[in-house]
Amino acid sequence: MDHTELHQKSFLLLLILATLGFGWILLPFFNAVFWAAVLAIVFTPLHHRLQRRLPRRHNLAALATLLLCLVMVILPLLLLGNLLAREVAETYEKFQSGRMNLGTYLRDGIDLLPEWLGRLLERHGFANINTVQDKISSSAMQGGQFLFSRTLVVGQNTMNFLIGFALMLYLLFFLLRDGVALTARIRQALPLSMAHKQRLLTKFTTVIRATIKGNFVVAAVQGTLGGVIFALLGIEGAVLWGAVMAFLSLLPAFGAALVWAPVALYFLFSGELWRGVVLIVFGMGVIGLIDNLLRPILVGRDTRMPDYVVLVSTLGGLALFGLSGFVIGPVIAGLFISAWDIFEPGAEAPP
């Protein structure tokens, strides 16, 4: 091994160790750094438009974009999270105090089913109200205890949350202001051909924007509409059910119908026909069409991955990274597909 080769390998080892060390330092604030980068990517087009209106005033353009991001995204999410936490606490308290009796709802629902379906449920052990109630109550109690434990952790670590939140805003400002230069340096440092660099970086930003603009916006709209119709029909916990519908809307092959459809059927079988019909018509004609109408406008059909890939990567990302996994999972899947497309024999790199 000559001196030059030894020098290169030593420098490569130093580079890897320094990168791992820097990542280890940032690990306690991973979510703050990650969401600052995600929001910077999503709001970069808006920042560029503001820069054209404010030439040579880069700090002012970045600050204006940051304020718009704060007003349009961050503050509404914080307010919604606070409202949702209150409703979850109230629902949990009703279950504990007995004011909300799950067995009554189950018994009424089974009594309204056709006779053949009731016999089928009884054959498989689902007609035993006490057994089913115990299973559901146990799951609900565990979920409620988990939510309360997480809420307690957040309350005990308010200072950490504030530091992370301030760090995210601070980084977001500089990523918006210096994003073009940072992207150019990353593109130059990657040991790939320029065409492959462009392809991978484009896929990276496209999937992030598609996930935020497509999945999150569509889910937010569907959840909001579902919560509104539940509130208008007098269903308790409209905010909570709207949040559940928004969550399910993030997952392909599932959706808000898993919430509103059983409720609509319950209304129909219990004789409240107008409420059932209104909920079905609104669910199918408004909530169900949001995905088909909004997603192509916000994302574009060419950027979508197969639904089964999105589903598996989203669930896997959620299991590994928590809420951030909704973005991390699809991004890793998109880069995986792009890397294998490049590696495929005979594949031509884009110009």
Q: What is the pLDDT of residues 229-288, one digit of tens each?
A: 988 888 877 888 888 888 887 776 567 888 888 888 878 777 788 888 888 898 888 888
Tell me the pTM.
Answer: 0.68
Greater confidence (341 vs 299) lies with 341
Task: Tell me, yes or no, whether 146 and 239 share the same domain.
Answer: no
What is the domain count for the chain? 2
* Shared domain check, 200 and 174: no
Range 30-59 average pLDDT: 86
Same domain assignment for residues 202 and 247: yes
**What's the domain range around 225?**
192-351
Establish if 83 belongs to a structural domain: yes
Residues 148 and 37 in one domain: yes
Q: Which of 189, 215, 233 is the last residue of a domain?
A: 189
Residue 126, helix vs strand vs coil: coil
Same domain for 331 and 221: yes
Last residue of a domain, one of 189, 223, 247: 189
- Mark whether 240 and 290 lie in a shared domain: yes
In a domain, 9, yes or no: no
Asked if the structure places residue 125 within a domain, the reply is yes
Asked if 229 and 344 sit in the same domain, the reply is yes
Q: Residue 16 domain-assigned?
A: no
pLDDT at 22 over 80: yes
CA distance to 222, 261, 268, 297, per residue, from 284 (Å): 11, 9, 16, 20
- List, in sequence order, every beta strand (DSSP E) within the chain: none
Asked if residue 337 and residue 207 are part of one domain, the reply reads: yes
Residues 168 and 206 in one domain: no
pLDDT at residue 271 in the model: 75
Are residues 185 and 36 both part of a single domain?
Answer: yes
Which of 165, 189, 213 terminates a domain? The answer is 189
Based on the fold, state whether residues 173 and 209 are members of the same structural domain: no
Q: Is the dihedral of CA 202, 208, 211, 212 positive or negative?
A: negative
pLDDT digits (tens, 9 = 90+) for 153-196: 444 456 777 788 888 899 999 988 888 888 778 777 777 777 77
The number of angstroms, rounded, from the C-alpha of 329 to the middle of its chain's C-alpha atoms is 10
- What sign for the dihedral angle of Cα 264, 267, 273, 274? negative
Confirm whether 264 is domain-assigned: yes
